[in-house]
Amino acid sequence: MGKRSLEETVEQSIEGGSSIIQYREKRYPQQLTTRQMLEQAKSLQKICRRHGVPFLIDDRVDLAVAIDADGVHVGQKDLPPQYVRKLIGNSKILGLTVGTFDQVDEALSHNVRADYLGTNAIFPTLTKKDAGQAVGLDGLKELVSYVRHTTRNGKHVGLVAIGGIGKENISQVMECGVDGVAVVSSVVGAESALQASRELRSTINYYQMNQSNDKARVREEMVQALLDIKKTRPLIHNLTNNVVTTQTANSLLAIGASPVMSQYHEEISDMVGIASGVLINIGTLDEYSIKAMHLAAKRANELGKPVILDPVGYGATKAREATVLELLLNHKITILKGNYGEIGRIHGNAGFAKLKGVDSESNSSNLPEMDKVVSELAQKFGCVVCMTGPVDVISDGSDIIHVYHNEPNLQHLTGVGCMTGAIQAAFASVCSNPLIAASAGCSYVALSGELAMSRMNLKDGELPPLGDFRSELFNSFSTLTPTNYRQYLNFVYQKSE
C-alpha cells in the first residue's frame, strides 16, 4: 500500500468498481487494540456510506454491532453462524466461508440464512496464513455446482471466490460460474488501487454480461417453446413401457400436448406421419415392441421428425444394451435421455451411479467429468445427450446446459424420468434446437416438482405422502404458467469457445 492510507485505498477501490467492502484486520491483537480497530472501522464505514456501498466486518461481531455495520463475514473457526445471525438480526448481511457441501447446507439452513457464501482460498495466498490447502479450479467448479442446485426459499445464494485472485487468473475463476470475487493483495498492494479495481471490474463485467445475454436468450427460447406447445397442441407418438403409459399420456395432456400410445405395426407409419414427435422408451421389452421402435424411428427419420430415446435400465441386462445400441446405430436419434447410470454405461464410464434394477442411485459431485461424458457421447452419436439426476447435464457435443433440481422427492415417484422424456418430445416438436428442447423439458419437470411441494404446506423436513405428492405434481404440470416458468428457471448455460 506504500504511502497510501487504508482510507485512500478503500476510496479508490470503490471508485474503481468494488461493490462491497469487508474490513479484516490481521494486526489484532499484536499491533492493534480493539479500540483502534473500532476507530478504523468507523472511518471506513463513513466512506462506504458516502458511496452507498455495504460495509462488512470480518469475524468481529461485537464491532459490527457496535457501529451498526451492514453485516459480518465469518469463517468455520469463528463464532458459529447461527449465533452470529441472532446477534446481528435478520436485516443484516451474513457471509459465511464454506468448503464442503455440509457447510453449504448449514449456511442456508433456516437458523443461519447466509446472504452469500465465500470459498476457501482458490489459489495459494500470503494474506491469510491459516487459509489451508488451495481449492483449485476443479474444486471451485464442484462447489459452484452444488451451490447452484441448493437454494434458500427457492432463491439462488451468491458464491464469491477468494484467495490469490488477480488480473492474471480472474478470467479462469469467472469461467467457473462464480457470482463474484474477493481480492486483497491485487488491490491493496497495487501502485494504483483505482486502476487495479477498474481492471478487475472490467473482467467481471465482461463475463457477467456475456453469461447474462446468453442465458437470457436460452431462457426466452425455452419460454417460447412452452408457449408454442400450448398454442399448437402437438401430437406425440409414445412407444413407452406399460408401467407408465397412463402417467405419460396425462403428463402430455397436462402441459398442453396430445398423446397417442400405439405400438401396432400396421399403423405406425401413418401414426408417425400425423404426429409431431416420437418417444421411444425401452422400459418393458419384447420382440414386438422392439420392432415397433425401429419402425417408428425409421419413419420419423424419413419425415424429419424428432425422436427421443429413453434407454431405461441400460446396463442391467445384455438385451437392453443390444436394443439401445441397435437404435442408436441404425437411426438418427434427436435426444438421448437417461439417468446417470444409464448414460455413464453407454459411454463406458459407469462411475457416476449404481444401478438398482432399472433405477439409478445418482451422485452429482463430479460435474466436470459428467460434462465430459455427455459431450463425448453427443459427439459420438450426433445427438443431444441428457443425463438426468439432481443436476441434469445436457449437451449437443459443444454447448452444455445444467438444469438444477430443488425437489429431491421426485426420485421417489415411479415414472418421473419416463414423463420427462415425453415432455422433452413435446418441446422438441416445436423447437428446432434439441439442446433447448431437452433443457426446457427437464426444467418443466423440475419446476413442477417444486411447485407441487410448495402446495402441500409441510413442516420443515416433513416428507410428503407420495400419493398426495403425485397428485400435486400433475396439478403443477397443468398450472405452471409461462410467466412462472420464466421467473423460476434455474440453469447454467456454458457456451463453447
**Average pLDDT estimate for 302-309:** 98
pLDDT tens for residues 248-271?
999 999 999 999 999 999 999 999
In this predicted structure, what is the pLDDT of residue 286? 95
Q: What is residue 86's predicted lDDT score, i.e. its pLDDT? A: 95
In a domain, 183, yes or no: yes
In the numeric block, the cell 460434462 is attached to 371
In a domain, 204, yes or no: no
Examine residue 1 and state whether it is found in any structural domain, yes or no: no
Q: pLDDT at residue 23 above 90?
A: yes
Q: Where are the strands (E) in 113-179, listed by range?
A: 116-121, 158-162
Over pLDDT 70: what percentage of the chain? 93
Residue 357 pLDDT exceeds 70: no
Cα–Cα distance, 162 to 471 (Å, whole number): 45
Question: Does residue 336 contact residue 309 with C-beta atoms inside 8 Å?
Answer: yes
Say what the pLDDT of residue 311 is.
Answer: 97
User: What is the model's pLDDT at position 268?
Assistant: 97
Phi-psi map region of 198: left, alpha, beta (phi>0 left; psi -120 to 50 alpha): alpha
- How far, in whole angstroms, is CA 262 from its chain's centroid? 36
- Where is the domain boundary, 159, 191, 223? 191
Q: Is the pLDDT of residue 149 over 80?
A: no
- 394 occurs within a structural domain: yes
Q: Are 377 and 318 in a shared domain?
A: yes
> Is residue 197 included in any domain, yes or no?
no
Residue 32, domain extent: 6-191
Which cell numbers hold the place of 33? 487494540
Q: Is residue 229 located within the same domain as residue 355?
A: yes
% of the chain exceeding 90 in pLDDT:
73
Q: Read off the CATH number of the domain in which 26 is found.
A: 3.20.20.70
- Give the CATH number, domain containing residue 484: 3.40.1190.20
Task: Say what the pTM is.
Answer: 0.69
Are residues 333 and 447 both part of a single domain? yes
pLDDT score for 403: 92
For residues 412 and 469, membership in a common domain is answered with yes
The pLDDT tens digits for 216-237 are 899 999 999 999 999 999 999 9
Judged by DSSP in three states, 85 sits in: helix
Tell me, yes or no, whether 424 and 355 share the same domain.
yes
121 CB-contact burial (10 Å; exposed 0-12 / middle 13-18 / buried 19+): buried
Do 170 and 275 sit in the same domain of this protein? no
Q: What is the mean pLDDT of the chain?
A: 90
Which of the pair, 387 or 491, is modelled with greater confidence?
387
Tens of pLDDT along 445-484? 999 999 999 888 887 777 889 999 999 999 999 999 999 9
* Residue 198 resides in a domain: no
Q: What is the pLDDT of residue 62?
A: 96
Q: What are the backbone dihedrals phi and psi of residue 269, each rounded to the nearest 5 degrees, phi first?
A: -60, -45
Mean pLDDT of 335-344: 95
Domain count, the chain: 2
Do 285 and 178 have their domain in common? no
- pLDDT tens-digit series, residues 96-137: 999 999 999 999 888 899 999 999 999 987 665 555 678 899
**pLDDT tens track for 422-439:** 999 999 999 999 999 999
Rounded Cα distance between 78 and 100, Å, is 16
* 390 — pLDDT class (breaks 50, 70, 90): confident
pLDDT at 229: 97
d(CA 430, CA 380): 25
Find residue 239's DSSP bridge partners: 280
Cell representation of residue 421:
422424456
Give pLDDT, residue 456.
87
Burial class of 53 by CB neighbour count within 10 A (0 to 12, 13 to 18, 19+): middle
Q: How many residues does the chain have?
A: 497
Mean pLDDT of all residues in 409-418: 90
Same domain for 101 and 235, yes or no, is no
- Contact status, residue 165 vs residue 122, Cβ threshold 8 Å: yes
Residue 67: Cβ-neighbour burial (10 angstroms; 0-12, 13-18, 19+): middle
Same domain, 246 and 172: no
Whether the predicted pLDDT of 50 surpasses 60? yes
- Name every residue whose Cβ is closer than 8 Å to that of residue 159 and which is 6 or more positions away in sequence: 116, 117, 118, 119, 143, 144, 147, 178, 179
Tell me: do 372 and 466 sit in the same domain: yes
Q: What per-residue confidence (pLDDT) applies to 373?
A: 94
Q: Which residues contact 462 (CB under 8 A, 6 or more apart)?
A: none
Residue 132 is predicted with a pLDDT of 63
Residue at 155 is within a domain? yes
The average pLDDT across 341-357 equals: 73
286 and 416 in a single domain? The answer is yes
